[in-house]
Structure 1
Amino acid sequence: MPSPLFADHPADRPPERDTVEALITQARRLRGGLDAVRRESSPDADVATADPQLRWQRALCDLAVHHLDDLGGHLDQLREGLPADCDELAGYDDGTAAHPELPAAPPESEPHESGSLLRRVGSAEWNLLTDEVSWSDELFAMFGRRPSDGPLTLDELPSLILAEDQERLATMVTDCLVDGRPIDGEFRVVRPDSDIRTVHMVGEPVLDADGSTACMWAVLRDVSELRRSQQAVRETGDSLQRQRQIAQTERRIAVELQEAVLPPWRDSLHFPQGGPAALDLAGRYLPSGTSALIGGDWYDALQLPDGKTLLSVGDLTGHGVAATSGMAMVLGALRGMAVTGQQPGPLLGFLNQLLDTTAQPALGSALCAHFDPATRRLEWAQAGHPAPLLFRGGTGRALDPPEGVLLGATTGASYAQCTEQLEPGDLLVFHTDGLVPRRTPTAGAAHEGAERLLALAPRFAVARSAQDSVRIVVEEFGSTEREDDACVLIARIGD
């Protein structure tokens, strides 16, 4: 509400009506596009509540909505000040009313305060010469007062201000009246209904002919919803950052734990040392192409006291530290029981009992085998795991699997064993089921992975070592966009 004392100051030229109309049209179009983004950013309320990223995106959209709503209100005020020669110029309410070029915004985008945005912007003038005070009707509504109660003087105004904000308001008013500084600050108003509103006030001193302050005028805007939206953006952004830090920490721990447990092979490994039937071994872990978390896959080889070699691969369900620590527990138990002379079938039975009785039960698949270098015989058992692939003479086939259910699926499960007679030059490929994307159920994905491995038979036939064969597998599957990680263990039978 400009003071009459401003009459001596030249007024800026009012904006052209067409310019304001163009701005309103642009704002409405942007508002409609933002509503579409809001709906896409949080299609499911339950998902949005659980996902920090979606909560942050929704909070940003809500903040942008409040900014655009306020912009619509300001443009409306600007247009209402122009001469109107058609009815539609008087019909623009709060940035969400019908517009001839754009559809109305959906109900969810309405401001939280009741009434239009115009009623959230008020003005006041305090005349220091006559002690007169004038408030606009909008300001009475903002402060929760009836016009019949009358406006508050500058001395009375702090009675409605939150105690911790009163000093800030006093400083702004003093700087304006004494030093002639413009007002630009916020404070919180406690309404008679105990509702607390955040108000942004801008204003200036009006000077008389002697340069003394004659009155102070101000425009006050209720920015409560805007500040709540900004707070929501900060809180959800902080939550998202914490979640990312937690995820990074979990990944680092999982990687360190995995690296400490899985065999750190960089070249082929030979078990036992020397001998006509020594195994040439190589293994590789292939991380997921889509997930940042480490899974519970493992591969392992261990020379046993009786001269045999333990070969195993497996996969526990889940990702992150829980899956990796579970894998470390299972692999440690498997190694410990294997050195006592247990056969592959009973070994899997004990692992099943271990997973069935742990404090945090888990499911897993596994394959366990003993290779006897003296007889070149392979004894193996499986628990819901893909069978080994045997390559001989340039072709490959999957071994017929014995019966065995997933580890942890049922109490007291028993696991059968199979025996395979191997020959010099044979190549065995053990793998987990995450080699290919799971476009089909797990069994289908495992079958597709086996088929693609079998198709590599001609290349395996000319490979000079187990490590060269692993490189062939990595070339075939390393760039695949897998939803899960995987392991491969290759054993070549010595001549």
Structure 2
Amino acid sequence: MPSPRSADHPAAQPPERDTVDALITQARRLRGGLDAVRESSATVDVTADPQLRWQRALCDLAVHHLDDLDGHLDQLREGLPADGADEGAYAAPPAPEEHRRGSLLSRVGSAEWNLLTDEASWSDELFTMFGREPAEGPLTLDELPSLVFSDDQEGLATMVTDCLVDGRPIDGEFRIVRPDASVRTVHMAGEPVLDADGGTACMWAVLRDVSELRRSQRAVCETRDSLQRQRHAARTEHRLAVELQEAVLPPWRGPLRFPQGGPVSLDLAGHYLPAATSALIGGDWYDALQLPDSTTLLSVGDLTGHGATATSGMAMVLGALRGMAVAGHRPGPLMGFLNQLLDTAAQPALGSAVCCRFDPATRLLEWAQAGHPAPLLFRGGTGRALDPPDGVLLGATSSADYGQRTEQLEPGDLLVLHTDGLLPRRVHGTDAAHEGTEQLLALAPRFTAARSAQDCIRIAIEEFGGAEREDDACVLVARVST
């Protein structure tokens, strides 16, 4: 229904048909591209990822906006005068059925309320929007609030009063309750039509069903808020994991000397290498502890998982390892106890570890391992991996037996313990632990020339510190000196 205009409103010039057709083509091309983006992610499960849910909601919102734009342009083109025999040359191809189903053409209607005769005139689309049969007739301005949501009636009354009394344009939304009890959100835009004396003769408006658009906007807001909550929780968990890790890992730097003295001592240094993604704080540890019998405990290990859960599990395992070592347990039985601890924990986990006990009086090293890379021994400018005893991953089975081996160390020997996350992003089909061991062994000449354990750590950091690792890693260096 054409909107009446007062004499002081000049008639707008109709747009060129070619321009409208070009805009329609562009809008539908954008819609097709957006559909391709949506289809490419249709098989992705977004329920567990707030960021994916937010992205999907934004796509849905964009679809509604483009559908509305397509409908507006369709109406604009259909309202243009035909060009006679040349009309077919300007006709754009019809929109695909799935684009037009529920399009703007069925969601926009118009109305005019005559204040002098108290008559109302509605377009057919408006009857459909309000769920009202045309035979029932249009609602007057006094009757319209009967279908409006109770909380929105006051706002509608204010808009109508401002229009009729002050001559202000109408631009606002309200919710209606249709006869089938469904609630729809309607946007109304209109203005008063003045008579020759400048008084308000009638009011006309275009009403648009924006329910789906508002639903999509709410979905975007909700998923955005969910994403922000998840990020805040992740930052909090990361901070807790870092604080717990810093509290548990050894605070010492440089050489560790025996307070009781002795014929030999160990020059010790360790370093934690974070993953490429700082959020992936894992359960890796390195540790050195002087025991009551003057022996030294050396250990490295890694629990599966990331975040506060993995770090708290690491703290539990490391605390148990220290306690049992102080109580006098040897490395082999100690690994068995750790395995039982993980197997019966409230939150079962898997882990790997190496545990060594070094006697400074005899320079004898006792050690055991649980599914972990063996210690590397560097002597005389070359390096080799120690022959590992039997031992499966911690927490893998409740009945595992862990063997134990001994190695006689000499003055100047260098022992390197490490976890398996040293390498950069893993290539399919490669053994990351083996490759990391080989790269460490290749550093033998540089380790031999190093003056201290801390210098060896600097060499390892130069070799592995710049890599974008998938996981975090630890390196512990122990040098036997006189």
* TM-score normalized with structure 1 length: 0.93
* Structure 1 residue 272, shift from structure 2 partner: 5.6
Q: 1:406 to 1:451 in 2, by over 3 A?
A: same
Q: 1:442 to 1:308 in 2, by over 3 A?
A: farther
Q: Is contact 2:107–2:129 with CA below 8 Å preserved after alignment? A: yes
Distance in 1 (CA, whole Å) between partners of 2:429 and 2:291 is 33
**What residue number does 2:282 align with?**
295
1:60 aligns with 2:47: no
* Structure 1 residue 291, shift from structure 2 partner: 5.4
Distance in 1 (CA, whole Å) between partners of 2:249 and 2:366 is 23
The partner residue of 2:473 within 465, 474, 486 is 486
Bigger Cα displacement from structure 2, 268-277 vs 301-310: 268-277
Q: 1:66 to 1:442 in 2, by over 3 A?
A: same
**What residue number does 2:6 align with?**
6
- 2:24 maps to a residue whose letter is I
Q: Is contact 1:80–1:89 with CA below 8 Å preserved after alignment? A: no
Distance in 1 (CA, whole Å) between partners of 2:29 and 2:271 is 54
* Structure 1 residue 383, shift from structure 2 partner: 0.6
**What residue number does 1:404 align with?**
391
Instruction: Describe how 1:256-267 pairs up with structure 2 within 5 A.
Output: 256-267=243-254
**What residue number does 1:327 align with?**
314
**What residue number does 1:226 align with?**
213
Deviations 1:413-439 (A, max 9, x none): 221111101111111100011111453
Distance in 2 (CA, whole Å) between partners of 1:189 and 1:90 is 37
* Structure 1 residue 91, shift from structure 2 partner: 6.8
Aligned residues: 479
* Structure 1 residue 87, shift from structure 2 partner: 4.0
1:208 aligns with 2:195: yes
Q: Is contact 1:80–1:90 with CA below 8 Å preserved after alignment? A: no
**What residue number does 1:101 align with?**
none
**What residue number does 1:76 align with?**
74
- 1:64 maps to a residue whose letter is A
**What residue number does 2:49 align with?**
51
* Structure 1 residue 120, shift from structure 2 partner: 0.4
Deviations 1:3-60 (A, max 9, x none): 54536642111111111112112212222222222234x34342x1111110000101
* Structure 1 residue 119, shift from structure 2 partner: 1.2
1:186 aligns with 2:184: no
Distance in 2 (CA, whole Å) between partners of 1:421 and 1:3 is 99
Distance in 2 (CA, whole Å) between partners of 1:88 and 1:212 is 46
**What residue number does 1:370 align with?**
357
Distance in 2 (CA, whole Å) between partners of 1:77 and 1:88 is 18
1:356 aligns with 2:354: no
**What residue number does 2:448 align with?**
461
Instruction: Describe how 1:117-128 pairs up with structure 2 within 5 A.
Output: 117-128=104-115
Bigger Cα displacement from structure 2, 347-356 vs 265-274: 265-274
For the residue of structure 2 that corresponds to 1:6, the secondary structure is: coil
For the residue of structure 2 that corresponds to 1:269, the secondary structure is: coil
* Structure 1 residue 84, shift from structure 2 partner: 3.0
For the residue of structure 1 that corresponds to 2:116, the secondary structure is: coil
- 2:62 maps to a residue whose letter is A
Bigger Cα displacement from structure 2, 429-438 vs 358-367: 429-438
- 1:335 maps to a residue whose letter is R
- 2:80 maps to a residue whose letter is L
Q: 1:414 to 1:488 in 2, by over 3 A?
A: same
For the residue of structure 2 that corresponds to 1:385, the secondary structure is: coil
**What residue number does 2:122 align with?**
135
Q: Structure 1 stretches of 5 or more lacking a match?
A: 99-103
* Structure 1 residue 340, shift from structure 2 partner: 1.1
**What residue number does 1:176 align with?**
163
For the residue of structure 2 that corresponds to 1:83, the secondary structure is: coil
Bigger Cα displacement from structure 2, 368-377 vs 114-123: 114-123
Instruction: Describe how 1:384-399 pairs up with structure 2 within 5 A.
Output: 384-399=371-386
For the residue of structure 1 that corresponds to 2:257, the secondary structure is: strand
Distance in 1 (CA, whole Å) between partners of 2:42 and 2:270 is 43
Distance in 2 (CA, whole Å) between partners of 1:407 and 1:12 is 80
- 2:67 maps to a residue whose letter is D
Distance in 1 (CA, whole Å) between partners of 2:238 and 2:4 is 68
Q: Is contact 1:289–1:479 with CA below 8 Å preserved after alignment? A: no
- 1:75 maps to a residue whose letter is L
**What residue number does 1:196 align with?**
183
Distance in 2 (CA, whole Å) between partners of 1:468 and 1:268 is 11
**What residue number does 2:329 align with?**
342
Distance in 2 (CA, whole Å) between partners of 1:410 and 1:271 is 38
Distance in 2 (CA, whole Å) between partners of 1:477 and 1:461 is 18
Distance in 1 (CA, whole Å) between partners of 2:478 and 2:112 is 89
Distance in 1 (CA, whole Å) between partners of 2:461 and 2:469 is 13
Q: Is contact 1:127–1:215 with CA below 8 Å preserved after alignment? A: yes
The two structures, once aligned, show a CA RMSD in angstroms of 1.8
Deviations 1:310-354 (A, max 9, x none): 000000111111110010011011111111111000111111111
* Structure 1 residue 411, shift from structure 2 partner: 1.1
Q: 1:455 to 1:38 in 2, by over 3 A?
A: same
Q: Is contact 1:311–1:369 with CA below 8 Å preserved after alignment? A: yes
**What residue number does 1:36 align with?**
36
* Structure 1 residue 171, shift from structure 2 partner: 0.7
Distance in 2 (CA, whole Å) between partners of 1:255 and 1:171 is 57
For the residue of structure 2 that corresponds to 1:270, the secondary structure is: coil
For the residue of structure 1 that corresponds to 2:305, the secondary structure is: strand
For the residue of structure 1 that corresponds to 2:139, the secondary structure is: coil
Q: 1:272 to 1:312 in 2, by over 3 A?
A: farther
Distance in 1 (CA, whole Å) between partners of 2:244 and 2:321 is 17
Aligned residues with identical type, % of pairs = 80
- 1:10 maps to a residue whose letter is P
Distance in 2 (CA, whole Å) between partners of 1:33 and 1:2 is 34
* Structure 1 residue 92, shift from structure 2 partner: 6.1
**What residue number does 1:18 align with?**
18
Q: 1:5 to 1:307 in 2, by over 3 A?
A: closer
- 1:319 maps to a residue whose letter is H
